[in-house]
Structure formats: structure tokens, C-alpha cells
Amino acid sequence: MQCKSDRSEKTDSRDIDALISENLGFAQHRITYFLENLDVNTYPGSVDDNGLLKTVPAKSWEAGCLAGILWYLYDYTHEEKWKIFAQQWTAGLELQKFNKNSHDLLFMLFTSFGNGHKITHDELYSDVLVVGAKSLASRYDPEIKSIKSWDKFYQSQKIQFPVIIDALLANEMLFYVAGNSGDSSLYQIAYNHALNTQRDFFRADYSTYYLVEYDTVLNSVKEKKTWLGHDDESTWARGHARAIYGSALTFRETGDSSFLELAKKSAEFYMEHPRLPADLIPYWDFDDPDIPNAPRDASAACIAASGLLELSSLLPAGERGKYADFAISTLESLTSNEYRNKPNENFGFILKHSTGSRSWNIDVDKPKISADYYFIESLIKLDKLKDSIIF
């Protein structure tokens, strides 16, 4: 790795190698708990308020995370055992390819079958992704030009056509399948959805709304809201982290430079926010009035780190350092005893102090398998990118 003159020794190439190898070694020990104590196709999610393991069904957005972690461990170690485990925990998710009731198919299928296909090139996995992408595309409205997120009620009132910021990241499966299958309609759906997100979800300061409701008669924005965040005008940290990541991958897939600019601006909002703590692990919502006594969200930090590394990889070598450095510092904080579970703590989860939603009391200050997934993904990305960063 090339470094500019006075860069701190803690992030030289030797220490970055240690950061990667030590954490991935630690992850192998932690994840083994799940392999030894759960039946195949039992998917860990979090820990409940009584300290008991919470599992999630195959239709949950977090169901693919364990399989995804196993694929990453196989990719890193090349040890056959991780491949076998990954195949086992992937197989049980196949029926979700027919699930037309959720926009979360990226998190169910692309973490599992997608990583499996990228690493092994198994065409059976490709076939699953094609069907899954078509199921996701069935939620697209050609008049609104977006993919509908939910088919449910919002605070006891029917919401017409809700779209959430997370779906910008979910586009990755559509782009991937379009590139492999040649189905240009999937590409156009993903691109149109991204253009709507760019137009409707970002405020003037590049903070983000979580949810936009579209009017299905006028085909226009009806209302901008939150669901998991503190209030309608707040910025929910995990949603914003996904916006950074989703903007970067949209530029990667389309070459549309407006998304590169969007990724940079939304990243800078996050990185330079006055209420971002010194250790770079955000509060669950940037606008919670209880800050600094509000809960943190390690999962948002993990997604942001992966998104910033994605952004860094798309820039000329001399421009990568700013974003990669921030991601590395985030990973260093997550590696500390403050955020990493001790042996025999929290089952097989790697990290603690994540928050789903304080407003709804969902996984407040708990470990989350999705945090672990993006933590491992960030380390794998850093391993592949490290030699091209100029600080």
C-alpha cells in the first residue's frame, strides 16, 4: 500500500493486514457456534430482551446473512468446509425466489445465492437469481417508475405505494442478473428506480428520507415519512448508510456520474456530521434528541464502511484515501472490546450494540446478524482494495 508521508502508523499495510486477518479469524470462531448449535435452515437474527437467541424465518430480510458470511469465509480461506456450510445454509432459501410479496429479495437471495454464484459460478445459483429478479421486478410500477417496498398498512392507514431508501441497495440483484442474462428490462427497472430515489429521497443537505409514498392516481410524490427513524424529518443512520452504498453501486453499474456525486455528497453528510461520535459508530438516528444518551447502531457503521469502500474502489487511486481511511477507522472501532463480543457472549454473533429502531423497540442495543454480514463484507473488500489505496 502506498502511503503519504505522515499517515499514522496504525493504518500502514502491515496493520491493515492484521486488522483483516485477526477479525476474519475471530469471525470463524464466532460463526462456528451457529454451525454447531443450529439446525440447517435455522437463521439467526438477534438476541431478545431475555438474552435468548432470536431466529428469523426464511422470508425475513436477514435470513440470507449467515449464508453470505459463510460464502465470504470460503472466499477468504479457500477451505472446503466453509463452502459446504455455505451451500447448506443457502439451499433452504431457494423458495424465496418465488416471493413476490417483498422487496427484500436482495437481502434474502443475493447475500446467499448471489455470493455463491460470484464465488463458484454455479449456474444453478444463477437460475435462482433470475427467477428471484423477476419476482422483484413484478413489484415495479411502470407509471411511477419505482419498485413497491411493502404491501401493508402504515400506522393503521393504508399507504398507497411506499418505497423505502433500502431499495436503492436492493437494486444490485437486478443489475447483476441483467448483466449475466442480458435482460435489459431488469437493468432499466433498476435504473429508473434509482433515478426516482435520487430525485425524491435526498434533501438539500444530502440527508435522506426513509420512506416516500407515491400517489397511484397522480403518479407523483404524496408524502415523505419515516418508519424506523425518530421522526419524518430525521435521518435514520442505517437507511442513510444504505443510501451511500446504493448510490455508489448505481454509479458502478450505470456509469451515470450523477450517482457518483450523490454517493460522495451523502458520504460527506455522514462522515462530517457534528453528531457522529468520535469513534465513528453512529447513533441510531442522527436527530434523536437524547443524543449523546441515544443507542448506537453498529450495523449502520458496518453498512457505511462497506459503502465507503465501494465508493473508494470506483475512484482514481489518488482519490480513494479519504473514504477508505474513514472505513478503516470505522472497522478499527468495531474491532474494539466496546463493539466486538467476548468469547461466550451473545451466542455466535460477532458484534454488539446495533439498533433496529428505537421508536418501535426493535432490536435496541443488540447484536444483529446483518451487522456481522456487512462487517465481514467490509473486511473482504478491504483485503482486495488495500494495495491500491493512496493516503
Q: Could you list the active site residues?
A: 104, 166
What is the DSSP-derived secondary structure letter of residue 285?
B
Task: Tell me the three state secondary structure of residue 286.
Answer: coil
Distances from the Cα of 21 to the Cα of 26, 45, 308, 309, 383, angstroms: 8, 25, 20, 17, 9
Distances from the Cα of 226 to the Cα of 102, 214, 337, 355, angstroms: 18, 14, 33, 16
Quick one: which H or E segment has residue 102? none
C-alpha dihedral (132, 138, 144, 149), degrees to nearest 10 = -60
Here the cell at position 171 is 437494486
Nearest-angstrom CA–CA distance, 351 and 137: 34
Q: Are strands 211-215 and 220-225 parallel, antiparallel or unpaired?
A: antiparallel
What residue type is 336 in one-letter code? Answer: S
Nearest-angstrom CA–CA distance, 175 and 195: 14
